[in-house]
Structure 1
């Protein structure tokens, strides 16, 4: 299981849009499109960085390179 992280976009700390939590699990999320799936080219779809809220499970998506991720202490 992924270790908990905190994150920021620029100087602004990321908080969950649903519950306000600030601890997340990070993972890559494929942005599949119907056309690419139809032609069996799903592997070529773009990816986003997903942050899954540690409190409520809401998934936040960010374009690659826009996010700074920090490991939590502990």
Structure 2
């Protein structure tokens, strides 16, 4: 299983919008569009950083490249 991470954007630490937890599992997520799927080029679609809350499972998506992740030993 993936190790938990904490995330920050600039000076702001990110917390879950639902449960206020601060540990996440990180995953890259493709932002598929119908047009690119239609012409069989979904591989070229933009991707986002998905942060899945360790406590409640809510998925947060970030397209910003400035997000910093810090691994946490749990």
Q: TM exceeds 0.5?
A: yes
Query: Given the two structures, how large is their TM-score scaled by the length of structure 1?
Result: 0.94
- Superposed displacement of residue 66, structure 1: 2.1
The C-alpha deviation readout for 1:12-63, integer Å capped at 9, x for no partner, is 0000000000000001000000000001100000000000000110000111
Matched residues in 2 for 1:59 and 1:48: separation? 11
Look up the match of 1:10. Answer: 10
Structural RMSD (CA): 1.0
Matched residues in 2 for 1:37 and 1:45: separation? 9
Matched residues in 2 for 1:45 and 1:73: separation? 33
Look up the match of 2:66. Answer: 66
Matched residues in 2 for 1:62 and 1:24: separation? 13
Please, which runs of 5 or more residues in structure 1 have no aligned partner? none
Please, which runs of 5 or more residues in structure 2 have no aligned partner? none
- Superposed displacement of residue 64, structure 1: 4.3
Structure 1 consecutive aligned stretches of length 4 or more whose deviation exceeds 2 Å: none
